[in-house]
Amino acid sequence: MRKFGVAILGLGVVGGGTYEILTEKREFFKKTQGVDITVECVLEKNKDRALSLGIDEARIATSIEEVVTNPNVDCVVEVIGGIEPAKTFVTKALKSGKSVVTSNKELFAKYWHELEAEAKAKDVGLYFEASCVGGVPIIRTLQEGMQANDIKSIKGIINGTTNYILTNMESRGLSYEDALKEGQKLGYAEFNPTADVEGFDSTYKLSILSSLAFNTKIYFENVYREGITNIDKEDIAQGKKMGYTLKLLGIGKKTASGIEVRVHPTFVPSDSMLASVSDSFNAVLLEGDSVGEILLYGRGAGALPTGSAIVSDVIFAARHQTNYYSCFNNTLKGASKTKIVSDFNSKYYISLSVKDAPGVLNKISGAFSKYNVSLKEVSQVSASENEAKIVVTTHSCLESAVKKTLDKLSKLEEVFAVKGCIRIED
């Protein structure tokens, strides 16, 4: 039976969960996987935290050098997060001939090309299942379960914080601010939630997932990004009446014009599979030309779900002598021939605060017509003295045309404000 030694860098929520799974299930893995995995050392600046988990003091390293020079360590698990010191530590581990497992989506999205080059140079493994969608095995599915398919699209709820906020804005009528505060109290949202609510977290994940799905490097800065901080609960309620549910989606599509990659609030039909994904759960919908649609669903974060993904990579590394790397040109920005579509087609929901007076609808319709935006439905949803709220939905049209239309509308004296603009994905 092969013995396989692991070092864990960081014993926070995920690191602690990973340690728990590896130690408590050691005998289970020996029986079911045929490998004896041991945690040889940990690197954690809070020594008391390590001791509280029952880790022998002799196994608590005080520097990365202790870890990478330990001959009993075959694989280093990085769960520190952020760029530094994680990047330095991972690079040292790879250069020392250790395989690496990481849950760090920001590090991976930004420096995948550099880390993989180091791994190739030493012929060691580089694994990142836990970087995207927590315990949901999306990376392995893309790498090993979808080879027969030319993947057409990937759509996902890939951030649990925003899904929790939007779910409670819809189901309980909470404001964005109140839903965020509640999420922070329950541990679903960070004290500084910017990375989640402004879409950065989802952008890093979509960069990684779409690179694998479309077999070409998708540079994270090429992903269109829009967060949920400006979403109004009234638009969520109105969308619900129209048969839509609001989600922050990561969307990747392979089209005749090129590849679309975008993260933004999106109305989806309320009877769709993605609409049913609530609270902090995540889901990814893949469409392949051979298999059709596949939905992967589960917990996108947490000690044990994310630890589950990390341990699956550790076991994979322990059981495989051959290392696998990306099959595309993995440079910072990828192949120059890969065309990213920035002016994509979509349907739109637009809400306006306007003057309640004759002729206003004609002026509004004229602005849409000027830029060839075809209207599907126009309705007045509320009115007070001299003011009305108008909701417009469009047929599929170009993003650039809608932006020009909104700019035109904002300059009309009859339009008090453009209250909301949300894309619709059927």
The catalytic residue positions are 205
Q: Kindly report the number of other CB atoms within 10 A of residue 201's CB atom.
A: 26
